[in-house]
Amino acid sequence: MLVIRPVLAVVSVVAATLTATTAAHAAAPVCQEFSDKGVCVIWADGGSMAGGSSDSGAPSGSGGSGGASQGSGGGRSSLMEVNHVTCLFVGSLLFPPAKSNPIWGGHHDGAIYQCLVPGSDVNGDRVLLFWGAGPPPAAPPPPDARVLARQAVNAMQLKAVNIGIVPEPRSGSIGIIGLPTWMWVQGPAENTWGPITRTASAGGFTVRATAKVKKVVWDMGDGTQVVCLTKGTPYADSSGRQSSPDCGHTYTRQGSYAVTATSYWSVTWVGVGESGVIPLDLSRTTNITMGEAQVINR
């Protein structure tokens, strides 16, 4: 059997037993959809499975589930359950058999096409032949992986961390300069701290993205920035005047300060044969007041 040109695309063909040496009658293959890999899926359209055989010419018990399934000519639902073989589409035969050959199925137009089932035979690749009015269409171009990655990120609905800090802004309390201020991520959630994973799909392709916070940078409003690689530790009354073990600051001047917590996310994604990293940063601000102990005591 003459193999024409390199492999062009991957297709799935029903009527798998039609080989170069056993060219039985074949119904017309029709490309109706693309697989999740963006390759053309074709099958013999029509045919009854009653009695363990089909109009596709695939004998009972050959590949797949053989004659185990019975249908009434709907085509796809019955035929896709039997003799489903994946092969490599090669192209049309340069020297096809005479049109009196049963593989033409009575057709006088179109062509006889071939594909290979790699390593399926003890002697090497097996050749499958089928009639088609035209060659299977080329697979559509894959979607832009970066666009899908962004869609996956949008589905995460990421938010800035909720600020935990003493003195507590909502209580109206005033902190004391010279004493430690504790900062932490209040109520960390999947979409405020991570890790969180979402996917986005198009054209049978899927991109998977996972996001997590790498660090939180606290702008304390007094010209100081504190970088915390953890969520921080919530303050407890039992901690007294101790400093935060992992995320804290000490003010030296009284006044009101706008404290901004910026969470820096790292989003890794993979799909459509590509991968990448998307950096994101999200911020939230609160206000605290610091005073001297003697002023507060008054």
State the pLDDT at residue 85: 61
In angstroms, the CA 131 to CA 138 distance is 17
Whether residue 245 is preceded by a cis peptide bond, meaning omega within 30 degrees of 0, is no
pLDDT in tens, 84-137: 566 677 778 888 889 999 888 899 999 888 777 666 556 666 777 778 888 766
Stated as kind and residue range, the H or E segment containing 248 is strand 248-250
Sequence-distant (6+) residues with CB within 8 A of 96 are: 111, 112
Profile the chain (298 residues) by mean pLDDT over runs of 10 residues.
Answer: 30 34 35 43 32 28 28 23 55 86 89 74 70 75 94 98 92 88 97 98 93 98 97 94 96 96 98 96 96 64
State the pLDDT at residue 191: 97
Stated as kind and residue range, the H or E segment containing 260 is strand 255-271
Q: Which runs of E-coded beta strand occur in 64-204?
A: 85-92, 111-121, 124-132, 162-166, 175-176, 180-186, 196-202
Q: Is the pTM of this model over 0.85?
A: no
State the pLDDT at residue 294: 66
How many C-alpha atoms does 204 have within 13 Å on its Cβ side? 13
- Reduced to 3 states (helix: H, G, I; strand: E, B; else coil), residue 89 is strand
Stated as kind and residue range, the H or E segment containing 211 is strand 205-219
CATH fold of the domain at 145-297: Immunoglobulin-like (2.60.40)
**Smallest Cα–Cα separation from 150: which of 215, 224, 202, 194?**
202
Query: What's the angle, vertex CA 156, arms to CA 150 and CA 160, rounded to 5?
Result: 105
Query: CA end-to-end span of the chain, whole Å?
Result: 101
State the pLDDT at residue 203: 83
Strands 175-176 and 274-291: parallel
Domain limits, the chain = 9-132, 145-297
In angstroms, the CA 106 to CA 90 distance is 23
State the pLDDT at residue 123: 65
259 residue type, one letter: V
State the pLDDT at residue 247: 97
Residue with tokens 């991109």: 207
